[in-house]
Chains A and B, each alone.
Chain A
Amino acid sequence: MLFLGSLFYVSVLLINAIAVLSEDRFLARINLSSTTYDPSFGSGDATSVKAKIINLIASVRTLMRIPLIIVNTLIIVYELVLG
């Protein structure tokens, strides 16, 4: 269980890392924001790698926000009490 537990930690931390990316300060600057993403003519394909990554980041940021709050709180409490 120890190893799977750390695997779980790693995945939670990675999702955290995606979720804390700031939309207008960071993502917009490197053209990965979904609001400012403006596909240029000819390459505006919904299946391009960049569009996919943008979509993934945006959906993780919107979808995982509240579950992440809960999971992070639980992990913090667990680490404080038993860690």
Chain B
Amino acid sequence: MHRSSFAPPPAHSPPLHHPVPQHVSTVPMMRSPPPPAPQQPQSASYGNPYQPAPAQGGSGTYAPGFGGFINDPTAQMGFQVGKTAMMAGQEYVEQNFNRYVSISALKHYFNVSNSYVLSKLALVLFPWRHKPWSRQQTRLTSTSTGPDGQISQQQYSLMFLPPRDDLNSPDMYIPVMALVTYILLSAMLAGFRGEFHPELLGSITTTAIAVIVFEIICLKLAMYILSINNDSQLLDLVAYSGYKFVGIIVTLVASEVLTPGRGTGGWVGWTMFAYTFLANAFFLLRSLKYVLLPDSTSDASMRAGSMHTVARSQRNRRTQFLFLYAYIIQFIFMWVLSREGPSGLASKTGGAASL
């Protein structure tokens, strides 16, 4: 195929065909078919950056087809170099990526089951009767037994159970799905009102993501100022800040179904909003407790007795912040996000109409 397309071409071929027989006479087996000669300038232009010799060899064995080209040792070497370079690059990217977001940690957050998702959704929407809020930890004992059967080394590492096994564990599945659903639902509701623009998707997405980013920054700053050092919490915080989308989605859907076209501004919308906000705040209050108030009892006992009062006042401050975060900051953000739906635009257009 390739040869037939290469050989006949323009007017080059006749003059270039002439040298070929001469070469055949000198090097009979290597260059028997004519095409290599027209290939020569091309492969030379490729090969020149390297060395002339491999280009020669490459062009010589190129004739039988691409299989010969691949079997060429220099090409093999090139492949090897390329492969290792790509592997190294991939490794580098992975390493640098892992520094910020570790893949294994992310996998841990997506390790969910159907029953977990259902009960977690129920928990987010109805957290009042749930009793144990602490996350379960498994003591991961990695014992390396020696050859004589006795335990030579024992390492304890506390591991939180994955969401599949522990209802109180934060996951990323529900927040991600809720975020996507929220974006699509808002766009769809705007479509019902005939106000859909493609840009709406982008603006809703940026608003939602900006809210999450802002919340994380607030929390991180507070954790710095209140000197709460608890590592590996960033993804937990992202997950917890994503749960509010569930409540917002319920609010939007309920207000659209019960009072179609009125948005979340009616009494149904406000009631649903108040309920989901309170439920979400209660849920966050309970589940962020272990993030923001990490085992202060052991802290206090570890420190000297003179520091006890400091620890207590600090604990008080942390509790106040937790309350502030769960109720006031969440209220603002949930209001912003659920206003994003029908009522905001409706009131905006209403305002425009009245103006």
Contacts and interface: CB of A to CB of B under 8 A. Distances in A.
A49 B225 contact: yes
Determine the interface band of chain B, counting residues with CB < 8 A from chain A. 10 to 19
Interface in B213-256: 213-214, 224-227
B224 A1 contact: no
A2 B206 contact: yes
Given A7-B213, A47-B314, A56 B225 contact: yes
Given A7-B213, A45-B310, A47-B314, A52 B207 contact: no
B299 to A, nearest CB: 11
A3 B225 contact: no
Please list the 6 inter-chain residue pairs (A to B) with the smallest Cβ-Cβ separation, ordered nearest first: A3-B206, A47-B227, A52-B225, A7-B210, A4-B206, A49-B225
Contacts of A56: 224-225
Interface string A46-62: 01110011001000000
Nearest to A5: B206
Contacts of B224: 52, 56
A3 B340 CA distance: 14
Secondary structure dominating the interface of A: helix
A15 to B, nearest CB: 12
Given A47-B227, A52-B225, A3 B203 contact: yes
A31 B206 CA distance: 39
14 contacts: A3-B207, A3-B210, A4-B206, A4-B209, A4-B210, A7-B210, A7-B214, A47-B314, A48-B310, A49-B225, A49-B226, A49-B317, A52-B225, A53-B225
Nearest to B205: A3
Interface of A: 1-4, 7, 45, 47-49, 52-53, 56
Contacts of B213: 7
A49 to B, nearest CB: 6
B181 to A, nearest CB: 20
A4 to B, nearest CB: 5
B63 to A, nearest CB: 54
A48 B214 CA distance: 24
A36 B220 CA distance: 27
A45 B312 CA distance: 14
A2 B200 CA distance: 12
Contacts of B225: 49, 52-53, 56
B210 A52 contact: no
B202 to A, nearest CB: 8
A7 B207 CA distance: 10
Contacts of B210: 3-4, 7
Contacts of A45: 310
A46 to B, nearest CB: 8
